[in-house]
Amino acid sequence: MSDAPASGSVQVTARTVLVTGGARSGKSLYAEGLVNASQRERVYVATCTPFDDEMHQRIDRHRDQRGEGWRTIEEPRDLTGVIAAESTEGRAILVDCLTLWLSNLIFAEADPEAETARLAGALRAAPGPVVLVTNEVGSGIVPDNALARRFRDEQGRLNRRIAELADVAVLVAAGLPLVLKPSHLQPEIRL
């Protein structure tokens, strides 16, 4: 990802960025590009807890994709603590991803609403940039069981809460980023 904006684009300086999209949409790659372009020290916060060989292979692929120069912190639940401890003006933090973080909270029987409020407070207080990756999970069919419906609803609330406080929100679909926020980058629609 180039430091220079593309022809005709508007450059935006952001402290908190939410990158969302579907599975394999390119959202992690896009988020990594943002952090790489920042020319700051790079910290990758992995929220995944590998439970099987396939998940270990995914983690290895992500690590290889990022390349050298990243410091990785594996933290499945305490994002607030990591952001508070690691955020500095000279450091950019990438959290990948909020979806797995939420799963970890639900399985640990933590209160997602309270943890989201804590995370929001940490993001507002962070002196350096934080890029958060999340999945957009509510666009499909209604899940067939109560736990999956609860997860889908909690994920929607989490994404909405973080998008509200973020300086920039980007939807990545088929590898293409669409800036959702700030709204001045979008065309004004009139009927």
* Residue 62 among the catalytic residues: yes
Ramachandran angles phi, psi of 48, nearest 5°: -75, 140
Nearest one of 173, 99, 96, 157 to 130, comparing CA atoms:
96
Reduced to 3 states (helix: H, G, I; strand: E, B; else coil), residue 18 is strand
Q: Which two tokens stand for residue 174?
A: 């088929």
- Among 62, 77, 157, 161, the one annotated catalytic: 62
Output the six-digit token pair for 75: 């933290």
Question: Which parts are annotated binding residues for GTP?
Answer: 21-28, 63-66, 74, 96
Residue pointed to by tokens 């990785």: 72
Which residues contribute to the annotated binding site? 21-28, 63-66, 74, 96
The CA distances from residue 125 to 88, 89, 107, 183, in Å, are 11, 12, 28, 23
- For residue 74, the surrounding DSSP H or E stretch is strand 70-74
Catalytic annotation, residues: 62
